[in-house]
Structure 1
Amino acid sequence: MGSSPSRIQRSSHLVSTSRSNLSPSNSSSQHRSNTVCPYCYRLTRGNENVDDAFQITLQKLFPGAYELEEFVFQTKQTLVPNGFYPHVNTLVCVGLCRDEITSPFEEKIEAMWGRAFICGSLGGMLFCGNTGFAAAHHHAPETGRFIYYCFTHIAIDHEGLVGSVYRTRSGMNEKSTACGALAAFAAEIASNTLNLDFDENDIEMSMLKRHIIKQTDLSIDAKNAPDLLQVTMAAYETITIDLERHVRYDAEHFEDRQYALFTGVQIHGPNGMDYCWVGKASLLNRGILSPLVLPPTNDPMSTIGIHNEQH
């Protein structure tokens, strides 16, 4: 089964405990009125404080978050000494949300490792199941290596507001939400209208809600309703549990295979910036799951390295 929800929650504690310290009306608000173009909604240049609110929220909620390209590069640097060679003996598998704004992450992964097997769905949930994982594992040599990048996602806008994103590249002129599916889930709980019936016309959303509730201790009490950040962290926990279960099952049948597992949260920032927070990084070799330690980010705004859970 892999790690229990309570163990994975400990690695997300760094994130959730900082929530109460945030306020949209922090000191950076004095710079907001002139930082967004009223026509294209992109951040204007020339203001050193333009990203202050975003960076403050990012580092409070997701300390040590990497820029996407830096993260993918550091995973390669860490894995090559373990025998993972791009385009030689390694198949990369990507589990992200269907949302188009997650695509930069997939693009950077494929630029480094080659074409990926896609195993994600709404919210980044791993609903490809036994058949999907078996298909992926048949696409590499028996002695090959597999890398999994499985991330849910969330947005933080230029004002530091969690869940808010401008999709300027698709022509939208107003804010939207990421992750929309997880936000809808949170809204159902808060309004006491949570529907857990299985809907054949909405299979992934039906399963997302049922599966997260089953795998984690997320509150579904409207009086104690979780916010979007808490639902996002519950999705991260669930993805991690599911991924470890599936690769452990495969490893029982192929002893020589190695699996590198990276799970966490992709963060969409203002002006097309994307980051990722790594909740857990592990190497599964001969049935033993051990932590992978990545170098801390080079981002000068970040003061804390990534947190990998120990087993």
Structure 2
Amino acid sequence: MTSFDPHSTRLSANVSADSNGACPHCHQPIKQRESAGDFQTTLDKLFPNAYGLEEFVFETKQTLVPKGFYPHVNTLVCVGLCRDEITSPFEEEIEAMWGQAFICGSLGGMLFCGKTGFFAAHHHAPSNGFFIYYCFTHIAIDHEGNVGAVYRTRSGMNEKTTACGALAAFTSEIASNKLNLTFNEDDIEMSMLKKHIVRKTNLSTDPTKAPNLFEVTMAAYETITMDLERHVKRDAEEFKDRQYALFTGVQIHGPNGSDHCWLGKASLLIKGEFSPLVLSANPTSQVQTGASTKSH
């Protein structure tokens, strides 16, 4: 008998192994470790006040509707997530709430659609239109609290994989002193990801002070936020009657196909001025409320 609660996405650290010593949910061997290393503890430590996806998207709607952003009526939503298929529950929640989205994300959630991509999106709404941007990088935390580890059971894989794979590869290059910042036409997004994050942030590329995956992920979040604000600000200078809501942060893939998101920054841009945007409610439960139950 395990301590797994079917109404929660948390897998307790004292979950019992089956007769073969494997986790009954992911079928992987269970390591004997302290309970402080479980998913919930790691989530709370690295991403305090994380939301379930459904809860987060709902709260953004509750916050924005009183400000004139109406789903399926006057608002264009733009989504920037990693190409990884396990980010799709986030996009699905957003589109279910706001309608079809303009997709502007690349590997790691980077916004490499650039000026042309944003120009296209901004011409899909009137000069006095409303825009919402959800631009998030991503990371995984498994039931043992291992950062970067995720099971993709939906594709038939039983072994652990990595998320974000691109950011993990970047992290590994730095640690192994093999970082290559040369532009590669056969690997455009990955070569740009590394070069852009290094140029935009204070991320260490010294292998003796190599960042971990969490630190690289946060550098990606910072870069995405800066890029988004720059592109949107440019549009606002031309279309002064438009209103923009910007949300950036980190999507977190948890055990049993659960998904959460950490909101790093939320802001409104009206008449060329940014102002903080506070959601109508804080997350009521980082694990139980609104988390996706779809398997990866």
Which TM-score band applies after superposition, normalised by the shorter structure?
0.7 to 0.9
Report the counterpart of residue 77 of structure 1 in structure 2.
62
Shift of 1:298: 1.2
Q: Please say if residues 17 and 24 of structure 2, whose CA atoms lie closer than 8 Å, have aligned partners that are also in contact.
A: no
Deviations 1:55-107 (A, max 9, x none): 11101110000000000000000000110000111000000000000000000
Q: How many residues align?
A: 268
Would you say the 8 A contact 1:41–1:168 is kept in 2?
no
Alpha-carbon distance in 1 for matches of 2:51, 2:86: 17
Gaps of 5+ in 2: 1-11, 29-34, 289-296
Once the two structures are TM-superposed, the CA of residue 300 in structure 1 deviates from its matched residue by 6.4
Q: Which consecutive segments of 4 or more residues in structure 1 shift more than 2 A?
A: 28-38
Q: For the residues of structure 1 that align with 2:13 and 2:245, how far apart are their CA atoms? A: 41
- Contact 2:51 2:287 survives alignment (8 Å): no
Q: Provide the rounded CA distance (Å) in 2 between the counterparts of 1:213 and 1:300.
A: 32
Structure 1 residue aligned with 2:284, among 275, 298, 301?
298
Return the letter of the residue paired with 1:33.
Answer: A
CA RMSD of aligned residues (A): 2.0
Q: How far does the alpha carbon of each residue in 1:22-72 deviate from its partner, in whole angstroms, 9 at most, with x for none?
A: xxxxxx65436357237x549xxxxxxx99811111011100000000000
Aligned residues of 1:41 and 1:166 also touching (Cα < 8 A): no
Are residue 37 (structure 1) and residue 37 (structure 2) matched?
no
CA–CA distance in structure 2, aligned partners of residues 51 and 269 of structure 1: 16
Does residue 153 of structure 1 match 2:153? no
TM-score normalised to the size of structure 1?
A: 0.83
Equivalence for 1:200: 185
Q: How much identity, in percent, do the aligned residues show?
A: 74
Cα deviations by residue, 1:117-142 (Å, 9 ceiling, x for unpaired): 00000000000000000000000111
What TM-score, normalized by structure 2, do the two folds share? 0.87
Unaligned runs of 5+ residues in structure 1 are 1-27, 43-49, 303-311
Distance 1:62 1:290 in 2: 23
Residue in structure 2 matched with residue 13 of structure 1 by the alignment: none
For residues 265-307 of structure 1, the C-alpha deviation after alignment (integer angstroms, 9 at most, x for no partner) is 00000001000000000000001100010121011669xxxxx
Q: Secondary structure at the match of 1:75?
A: helix
Query: What secondary structure, in the 3-state scheme, does the structure 2 residue paired with 1:93 have?
Result: strand
